[in-house]
């Protein structure tokens, strides 16, 4: 009999222990992540009394794959476009939390005597809240429609990006062993260019590819294509000197902009759940309970640091961004934990061999404790706000309320502000793409062409091809926004604006000449003056070429069509207009959607009868029935199963409305009679039966007894589906469809009403 490979037997131990423990945690209503970690402790080398994993190193491979798919799934839910929409509140809140907690964590690590590098990684681990745990807690507690939940989600989006950047920076620090300002700046610039290039090229190519291949994409092929793209980007990121996790995250964020994003997220979820479970179990396998007991005091200290620090920094950041005191406190208490990114950063430190072995299990223990307390911390936010309301002087509260309302007023941007921001975005994006294209061309493509065609011929062909490739980008850098509304307004408003406006064009032309000089200097051995002359000629051709202008416009239109495709699709299908929702948020009102369930007591009743306005202080804005929308419905409008109600109200009112309809639904379900199955049975018409001589219609079998005659056996022949005029005779065998009790009563000569 052949021996089972250790990898398979170890995987069996991991999944069996994970399955049993997580079932227990589900019953206890605890997050499954905690179950995975406990399963890892049981399956790890720390427990000698039960069968455990024999080859921990082989499981690290599965765990690395788990990290890749976890980051890919986070990227699918992230999207860079979502980052641009989260607003100042999320950015200010996230920056405050990350900087504050990194500093707090670093100082705590040094105070515990753990050294510079351990303390630096500890700060990174303590600065990231758990997206997974918070989403789950909000869902379970019915808080996703609350105002502060939107703020928390925005902060988590920004924190996800910071976590990826932090992984790159910590890796750079770990390799260099010291903090070098220019080296860090160089890493940040390289990372920014890499992200920008991947995003722009990915958005230009991948949605179009998926759209053309849609005919051939079922669940199976879309899963394979998505995972192939993910692992392909992992390879590209690794070759570029970044981590595999970064590549997975970037590809997820690119696919998040496609209209297939939700579908991809759905089909990838089982794969992510499987390998994610293995990753979290492997996290638990590295925990030694004896070591945890030894470091119980540092664990307690770090738990308090996380809870107190996250509450203080998050509340301060949200308050600083212009939100109310209540929203700030609710946001701070919701973020008081660390999660999956803490594990990933801890794994990074171990892999790079720059952190001590004791730090990993300590951080995992802190994560487990803070995760366990997350729902309780969220519930404590309301009492904490009431205490703060009593303690904070009235003059301070008035000032904070005025500050909050003042920050939410709409300020009109100047034309210069709009123009300069647009130019920075356009020039930065196209310059980054152009630089990466030139680098890739000179590094890989040009040497291949010159090898096939040595000498000036190969160099010239290579130069012409790269110039043709980057020419649409060059034209966009120089010509975009030169005929915009802001540019024209500034040109005509004041003659003193014309000098700076012309200077902006000249500077962009000089930038493009410099970009063209890069391949010229590398491929042609010419004097500087000749190179500049060639570059200037190329730029002139780019500016005056009508064909290139058309091509540039088509490329940009194609890019923005792909970029906004998902947004447009969601806008068409969304029950709530997001611009309207954002407008209401500034007035402490919300739009939320609720579905009318089957067997709901609201079914068939009019809005006037239900009277939600008086009972819950909410208004029904829209009823969505299939593809039909009933806006501002009247009081006589009835509700039907699966109607989607778009409701407007304040936080407390919406919470009251949700509880009200859930309680009514539970009451109606409890009052439902037990459902009885319908069977096909037969009975014999004996002498003296009241059915003899009566037709099926006269007998009232269907109307009074709730049964249906489907056949009669008479003598040697059968009557299938007899007509209502058929007369029953003695000796007939009647086939009936109905509930057993009703058929029995009918055979006994009793009618059922």
Question: Can you tell me the distance from the alpha carbon of 413 to that of 407, in angstroms, rounded to the nearest whole number?
Answer: 15
Range of the domain at 102: 6-386
> How many contiguous H segments (helices) and E segments (strands) does the chain have?
31, 8
Number of domains in the chain: 4
Among 386, 406, 439, identify where a domain stops.
386
Tell me which residue of 301, 349, 295, 369 sits closest to 37, measured CA to CA: 369
Region 251-257 average pLDDT: 86
Tell me which residue of 649, 638, 581 sits closest to 605, measured CA to CA: 638
Answer yes or no: do 182 and 140 share one domain: yes
Residue with the bigger pLDDT between 274 and 495: it is 274
Residue 577 domain flag? no
pLDDT at 634: 84
pLDDT at 184: 60
Residue 106 domain flag? yes
Q: Provide the β-strand partners of residue 645.
A: 594, 623
Q: Is the pLDDT of residue 718 over 70?
A: yes
Count Cα atoms within 13 angstroms, Cβ side, for 135: 11
Structure tokens belonging to residue 310: 């996250």
Residue 489 domain flag? yes
Region 124-139 average pLDDT: 79
| Cβ-contact 708, 738 below 8 angstroms | yes
CA distances from 284 to 19, 289, 361 (A): 14, 10, 8
Residue 683 burial by CB count (10 A; 0-12/13-18/19+): exposed, middle or buried? middle
Answer yes or no: do 179 and 151 share one domain: yes
Count Cα atoms within 13 angstroms, Cβ side, for 671: 9
- Residue 340 sits in a domain of what CATH number? 1.20.1530.20
| Cβ-contact 248, 69 below 8 angstroms | yes
Q: How confident is the model at residue 250 (pLDDT cuts 50, 70, 90)?
A: confident
Answer yes or no: do 667 and 715 share one domain: no
Q: Which one-letter DSSP state was computed for residue 336?
A: -
The tens digit of pLDDT for each residue in 397-436 reads 777 776 665 544 433 346 777 788 788 878 887 888 888 8
Question: Can you tell me the distance from the alpha carbon of 647 to that of 533, in angstroms, rounded to the nearest whole number?
Answer: 66
Residue 405 domain flag? no
What residues contact 273, with CB distance under 8 A and at least 6 apart?
A: none
Query: What is the spatial order of strands in the sheet that 644-649 belongs to?
Result: 590-595, 644-649, 619-625, 628-631
Question: Can you tell me the distance from the alpha carbon of 52 to that of 55, in angstroms, rounded to the nearest whole number?
Answer: 9
Question: Can you tell me the distance from the alpha carbon of 508 to that of 107, in angstroms, rounded to the nearest whole number?
Answer: 45
What residues contact 721, with CB distance under 8 A and at least 6 apart?
A: 710, 711
Region 460-471 average pLDDT: 88
The tens digit of pLDDT for each residue in 41-71 reads 887 776 666 656 666 666 677 777 888 888 8
Q: Provide the β-strand partners of residue 708.
A: 737
Residue 350 domain flag? yes
Answer yes or no: do 370 and 423 share one domain: no
Among 338, 370, 386, identify where a domain stops.
386
Question: Taking the CA atoms of the chain, what radius of gyration do you get in angstroms?
Answer: 34
The tens digit of pLDDT for each residue in 484-527 reads 888 888 888 777 777 888 888 888 888 888 888 888 888 887 77
Q: Is the pLDDT of residue 255 over 60?
A: yes
Residue 407 domain flag? no
The tens digit of pLDDT for each residue in 142-184 reads 776 677 887 888 888 788 778 877 877 777 777 665 555 566 6
Answer yes or no: do 558 and 606 share one domain: no
Q: Is the pLDDT of residue 576 over 60?
A: no
Question: Can you tell me the distance from the alpha carbon of 107 to that of 336, in angstroms, rounded to the nearest whole number?
Answer: 19
Answer yes or no: do 562 and 602 share one domain: no
Question: Can you tell me the distance from the alpha carbon of 301 to that of 278, in angstroms, rounded to the nearest whole number?
Answer: 29
Angle at 237 between CA 231 and CA 241, to 5 degrees: 145
pTM higher than 0.75: no
CA 213 to chain CA mean position, Å: 25
Q: How confident is the model at residue 300 (pLDDT cuts 50, 70, 90)?
A: very high
Q: Which one-letter DSSP state was computed for residue 101?
A: H
Tell me which residue of 521, 96, 58 sits closest to 321, measured CA to CA: 96
Tell me which residue of 216, 229, 226 sits closest to 268, measured CA to CA: 226
3-state SS, residue 253 = helix
- To the nearest whole percent, how much of the chain has pLDDT over 90? 4
Q: Is the pLDDT of residue 537 over 50?
A: yes
CA distances from 293 to 361, 616, 651 (A): 11, 51, 43
Residues in the chain: 753
Q: Is the pLDDT of residue 304 over 90?
A: yes
Q: How confident is the model at residue 349 (pLDDT cuts 50, 70, 90)?
A: confident
Answer yes or no: do 550 and 606 share one domain: no
Among 648, 671, 694, identify where a domain stops.
671
3-state SS, residue 618 = coil
Residue 619, phi then psi, degrees to nearest 5: -120, 140
Residue 595, phi then psi, degrees to nearest 5: -100, 140
Q: Is the pLDDT of residue 716 over 80?
A: no
Answer yes or no: do 164 and 103 share one domain: yes
Q: Is the pLDDT of residue 389 over 80?
A: yes
Answer yes or no: do 630 and 562 share one domain: no
Q: Provide the β-strand partners of residue 695.
A: 727
Region 582-597 average pLDDT: 62
- Residue 662 sits in a domain of what CATH number? 3.30.70.1450
What residues contact 303, with CB distance under 8 A and at least 6 apart?
A: 366, 369, 370
- Strand (E) or helix (H) holding 681: strand 679-684
Answer yes or no: do 644 and 495 share one domain: no
Q: How many CB atoms lie within 10 A of CB 618?
A: 22
The chain-wide mean pLDDT, for the chain, equals 79
Residue 399 domain flag? no
pLDDT at 653: 80
Residue 264 domain flag? yes
Specify the long-range contacts of residues 458-463, CB closer than 8 Å, at least 24 apart: 459/523, 459/524, 460/523, 460/524, 462/519, 462/523, 463/519, 463/520, 463/523, 463/524
Residue with the bigger pLDDT between 65 and 310: it is 310
Q: At what angle do helices 485-493 and 415-440 cross, to 10 degrees?
A: 130
Question: Can you tell me the distance from the alpha carbon of 303 to that of 120, in angstroms, rounded to the nearest whole number?
Answer: 17
Region 95-114 average pLDDT: 90
Answer yes or no: do 159 and 214 share one domain: yes
Question: Can you tell me the distance from the alpha carbon of 581 to that of 513, in angstroms, rounded to the nearest whole number?
Answer: 46
Q: How many CB atoms lie within 10 A of CB 418?
A: 17
The tens digit of pLDDT for each residue in 207-235 reads 888 888 888 888 889 999 999 999 999 99
Question: Can you tell me the distance from the alpha carbon of 237 to that of 210, in angstroms, rounded to the nearest whole number?
Answer: 22
Region 128-138 average pLDDT: 77
Region 437-442 average pLDDT: 85
Question: Can you tell me the distance from the alpha carbon of 469 to that of 653, in angstroms, rounded to the nearest whole number?
Answer: 58
Residue 473 burial by CB count (10 A; 0-12/13-18/19+): exposed, middle or buried? buried
Answer yes or no: do 641 and 728 share one domain: no
Tell me which residue of 77, 586, 87 sits closest to 317, measured CA to CA: 87
The tens digit of pLDDT for each residue in 614-633 reads 888 888 888 888 767 788 88
């Amino acid at each position: 009999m052949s021996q089972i490979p250790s990898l398979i037997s170890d995987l069996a131990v991991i999944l069996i222990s994970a399955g049993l423990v997580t079932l227990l945690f589900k019953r206890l209503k605890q997050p499954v992540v905690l179950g995975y970690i406990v399963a890892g402790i049981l399956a790890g080398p720390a427990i000698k009394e039960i069968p455990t994993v024999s080859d921990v190193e082989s499981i690290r491979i599965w765990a690395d794959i788990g990290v890749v798919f976890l980051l890919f799934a986070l990227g699918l839910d992230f999207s860079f476009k979502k980052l641009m929409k989260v607003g100042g509140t999320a950015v200010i809140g996230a920056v405050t939390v990350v900087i504050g907690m990194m500093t707090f964590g670093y100082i705590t690590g040094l105070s515990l005597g753990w050294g510079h590098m351990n303390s630096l990684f500890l700060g990174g681990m303590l600065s990231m809240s758990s997206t997974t745990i918070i989403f789950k807690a909000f869902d379970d507690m019915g808080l996703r429609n609350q105002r502060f939940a939107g703020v928390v989600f925005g902060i988590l989006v920004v924190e996800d990006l910071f976590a990826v950047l932090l992984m790159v920076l910590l890796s750079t620090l770990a390799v260099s062993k010291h903090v070098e300002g220019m080296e860090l700046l160089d890493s940040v610039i390289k990372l920014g260019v890499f992200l920008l290039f991947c995003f722009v090229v990915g958005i230009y190519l991948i949605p179009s590819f998926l759209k053309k291949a849609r005919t051939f994409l079922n669940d199976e092929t879309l899963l394979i294509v998505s995972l192939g793209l993910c692992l392909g980007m992992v390879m590209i990121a690794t070759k570029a000197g970044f981590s595999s996790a970064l590549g997975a995250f970037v590809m997820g964020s690119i696919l998040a902009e496609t209209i297939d994003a939700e579908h991809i997220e759905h089909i990838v979820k089982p794969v992510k759940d499987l390998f994610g479970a293995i990753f979290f179990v492997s996290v638990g396998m590295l925990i030694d309970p004896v070591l945890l007991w030894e470091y119980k005091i540092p664990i307690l200290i770090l738990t308090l640091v996380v809870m107190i620090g996250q509450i203080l920094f998050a509340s301060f950041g949200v308050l600083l961004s212009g939100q109310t005191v209540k929203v700030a406190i609710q946001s701070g208490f919701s973020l008081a934990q660390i999660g999956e990114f803490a594990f990933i950063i801890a794994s990074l430190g171990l892999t790079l061999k720059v952190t001590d072995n004791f730090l990993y299990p300590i951080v995992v223990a802190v994560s487990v404790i803070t995760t366990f307390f997350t729902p309780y911390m969220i519930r404590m936010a309301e009492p904490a706000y009431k205490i703060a309301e009593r303690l904070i002087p009235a003059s301070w509260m008035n000032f904070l309320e005025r500050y909050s309302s003042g920050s939410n007023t709409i300020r009109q941007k100047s034309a210069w502000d709009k123009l300069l921001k647009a130019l920075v975005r356009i020039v930065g994006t196209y310059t980054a793409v152009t630089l990466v294209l030139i680098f890739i061309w000179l590094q890989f493509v040009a040497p291949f062409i010159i090898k096939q065609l040595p000498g000036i011929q190969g160099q010239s062909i290579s130069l012409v091809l790269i110039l043709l490739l980057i020419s649409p980008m060059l034209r966009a850098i120089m010509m975009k926004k030169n005929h915009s509304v802001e540019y024209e307004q500034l040109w005509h408003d004041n003659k003193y604006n014309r000098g700076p406006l012309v200077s902006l064009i000249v500077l962009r032309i000089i930038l493009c000449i410099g970009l063209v000089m890069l391949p010229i200097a590398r491929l042609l051995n010419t004097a500087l003056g000749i190179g500049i002359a060639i570059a200037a000629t190329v730029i002139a051709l780019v500016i005056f070429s009508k064909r290139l202008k058309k091509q540039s416009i088509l490329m940009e239109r194609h890019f923005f069509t792909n970029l906004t495709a998902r947004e447009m699709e969601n806008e068409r299908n969304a029950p709530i207009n997001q611009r309207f929702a954002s407008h209401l948020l500034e007035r402490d009102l919300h739009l939320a959607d609720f579905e009318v369930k089957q067997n709901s007591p609201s079914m068939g009743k009019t809005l006037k009868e239900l009277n939600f306005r008086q009972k819950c202080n909410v208004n029904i804005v829209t009823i969505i029935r299939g593809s039909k929308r009933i806006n501002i419905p009247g009081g006589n409008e009835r509700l039907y199963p699966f109607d989607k109600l778009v409701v407007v109200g304040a936080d407390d009112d919406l919470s009251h409305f949700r509880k009200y309809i859930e309680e009514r639904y539970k009451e109606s379900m409890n009052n439902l009679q037990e459902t009885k199955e319908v069977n096909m049975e037969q009975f014999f018409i004996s002498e003296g039966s009241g059915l003899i001589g009566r037709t099926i219609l006269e007998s009232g079998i269907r109307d009074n007894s709730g049964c249906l005659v489907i056949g009669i056996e008479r003598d040697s022949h059968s009557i299938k589906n007899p007509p209502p005029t058929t007369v029953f005779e003695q000796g007939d065998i009647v086939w009936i469809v109905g509930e057993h009790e009703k058929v029995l009563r009918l055979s006994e000569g009793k009618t059922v009403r």
